[in-house]
């Protein structure tokens, strides 16, 4: 085939599933080979996003509607005919006119060779030229209908294989985020468990002094006293970093959300109250619902308008209450929150009370202003109206990520 590139049989050399499993294996190998200090320090969300980007597979997309053709000449062995045609060369070959179909495509070129789980089927000899998938149809006589029928048959075969290939690749890509998160978490948890086991030996340990980590403080549970596991300390001056676990964090945010809804439904509760008094209404709902062990303080006041959950003199969770006074004051409130936090994987909430007559412009202002903050990393899903979830980082360290919830509570002007 004189198409200008090496020809091959499409979708018939190697197994697609082996290739996709290989991508997962390579992801796992990369995580396993990372330095321990890197795993413990890296921003998990950003690292997992990197893994997903690197080990996702770009599915094949062929633009059949954009097909183009070009007349060509190809050299064939004379043996393909019963009798050597006039003009055959001494080597037993002859030239035959042909039409080359050029189909523009995008995606991972390796997929063109790989057989899908649908099993072996009649394939098509193709080559790749300038981002086009090409195949050839010989011109036999003057019957264009026969030539078109042969070309359409090859296109149908390619389309069938592309459908199978795309389906399997898309399934791989859907599963990859969870696989990447699980692989990272397993490696990180293994490192933490090994460090805790070594620390439990209570013997002097020669170890790097730049190996910080995050450990989850035992979950908060309603009306239950939960002990906090003793964090492992490898040497004097080394501190592990506590974090409020995901379930407890979700429960705290749920209580805040429900409290604010009640305040909106009963505006008389808020009449004449300033930021500090409004804060106390929220604190009143949080404090009796959660208990902590003796080494940590339950929700309490810290300053005039903030609510703190502390562990060993450091803040695990901070909520700041502000009355809406425009985007610039709102962004300054985020600055104030971040100034309270030092731990990796900290949690924070900014509760914005709005006394404006209309709430919609304020909601839009929050959505527009937050991504302009210098420490903004990203926006998470926001399933509840008036509640926004963002990822920001502590000043000076993009790996120290903070989960920031912004609550917008509408209190009518006459409240």
For 123-153, the pLDDT digits (tens) are 788 888 888 889 888 887 767 777 888 888 8
When pLDDT is cut at 50, 70 and 90, the band that residue 180 belongs to is very high
Q: Which helix (H) or strand (E) holds 161?
A: helix 144-199
210 phi/psi in degrees, rounded to 5? -115, 40
Query: What are the C-alpha distances in Å from 75 to residues 72, 233, 260, 406?
Result: 10, 76, 79, 71
% residues pLDDT > 70 (the chain) = 75
Round to whole Å and give the CA distance between 405 and 391.
9
pLDDT at 5: 59
> What is the helix, strand, coil percentage profile of the chain, to 5?
40, 25, 35
Lowest mean pLDDT among 32-41, 205-214, 285-294: 205-214
pLDDT at 297: 45
Instruction: Please give the average per-residue pLDDT across 6-32, as a whole number.
Output: 88
3-state secondary structure 79-144: HHCCCCCCCCCCCCEEEEEEEEEEEEEECCHHHHHCECCCCCCCCCEEEEECCEEEEEEECCCCCH
Contacts of 75 (CB under 8 A, 6+ apart): 2, 93, 94, 95, 96
Q: Is the pTM of this model over 0.85?
A: no
pLDDT of 236 over the 50 cut = no
Residue that wins the pLDDT comparison between 221 and 408: 408
pLDDT at 20: 94
DSSP state of 226: -
Whether 69 and 99 have beta carbons less than 8 Å apart is answered as yes
When pLDDT is cut at 50, 70 and 90, the band that residue 361 belongs to is very high
pLDDT at 351: 93
Round to whole Å and give the CA distance between 302 and 296.
15
Helix (H, G, I), strand (E, B) or coil at 371: helix
Round to whole Å and give the CA distance between 388 and 349.
10
Whether 368 and 360 have beta carbons less than 8 Å apart is answered as no
R_g (Cα) of the chain, nearest Å = 32
Residue that wins the pLDDT comparison between 10 and 300: 10
pLDDT of 362 over the 80 cut = yes
Closest among 212, 213, 216 to 226, alpha carbons compared? 216
Instruction: Please give the average per-residue pLDDT across 219-227, as a whole number.
Output: 41
Contacts of 272 (CB under 8 A, 6+ apart): none
Lowest mean pLDDT among 26-35, 102-111, 173-182, 377-386: 377-386
Give the residue carrying structure tokens 């420490």. Answer: 375
Round to whole Å and give the CA distance between 10 and 157.
10
Contacts of 381 (CB under 8 A, 6+ apart): 389
Round to whole Å and give the CA distance between 318 and 310.
9
Give the residue carrying structure tokens 């978490």. Answer: 185
385 phi/psi in degrees, rounded to 5? -65, 135
Residue that wins the pLDDT comparison between 41 and 134: 134
Q: Which helix (H) or strand (E) holds 76?
A: strand 68-77
pLDDT at 228: 35
């Amino acid at each position: 085939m004189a198409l200008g590139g090496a020809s091959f049989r499409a979708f018939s050399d190697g197994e697609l599933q082996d290739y996709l499993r290989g991508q997962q294996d390579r992801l796992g190998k990369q995580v396993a080979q990372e330095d321990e200090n890197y795993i413990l320090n890296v921003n998990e969300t950003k690292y997992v996003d990197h893994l997903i980007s690197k080990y996702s597979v770009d599915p094949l997309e062929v633009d059949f509607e954009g097909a183009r053709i070009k007349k060509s000449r190809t050299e064939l062995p004379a043996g393909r005919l019963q009798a050597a045609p006039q003009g055959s060369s001494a080597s037993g070959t002859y030239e035959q006119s042909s039409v080359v179909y050029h189909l523009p495509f995008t995606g991972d070129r390796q997929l063109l060779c790989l057989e899908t789980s649908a099993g072996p089927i009649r394939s098509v000899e193709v080559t790749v030229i300038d981002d086009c998938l090409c195949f050839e149809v010989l011109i036999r006589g003057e019957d264009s209908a026969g030539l078109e029928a042969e070309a359409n048959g090859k296109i149908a075969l390619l389309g069938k294989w592309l459908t199978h290939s795309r389906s399997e690749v898309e399934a791989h890509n859907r599963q990859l985020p969870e696989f990447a998160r699980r692989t990272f978490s397993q490696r990180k948890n293994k490192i933490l468990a090994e460090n805790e086991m070594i620390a439990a030996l209570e013997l002097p340990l020669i170890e790097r002094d730049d190996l910080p980590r995050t450990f989850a403080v035992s979950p908060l549970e309603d009306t239950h006293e939960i002990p906090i596991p003793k964090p492992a300390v490898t040497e004097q001056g080394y501190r592990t970093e506590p974090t409020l676990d995901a379930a407890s964090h979700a429960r705290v945010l749920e209580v805040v959300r429900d409290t604010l809804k009640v305040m909106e439904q009963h505006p008389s509760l808020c009449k004449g109250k300033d930021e500090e008094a409004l804060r106390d209404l929220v604190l009143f709902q949080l404090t009796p619902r959660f208990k902590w062990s003796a080494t940590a303080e339950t929700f309490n006041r810290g300053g005039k308008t903030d609510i703190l959950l502390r562990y060993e003199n450091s803040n695990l969770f901070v909520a700041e209450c502000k009355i809406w006074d425009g985007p610039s004051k709102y962004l300054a409130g985020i600055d104030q929150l971040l100034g309270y936090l030092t731990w990796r994987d900290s949690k924070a909430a900014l509760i914005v009370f709005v006394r404006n007559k209309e709430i919609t412009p304020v909601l839009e202002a929050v959505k527009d202003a937050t991504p302009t903050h210098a420490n903004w990393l990203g926006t998470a899903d926001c399933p509840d109206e008036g509640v926004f979830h963002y990822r920001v980082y502590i000043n000076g360290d993009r790996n120290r990520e903070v989960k920031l919830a912004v609550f917008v509570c509408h209190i009518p002007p006459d409240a």
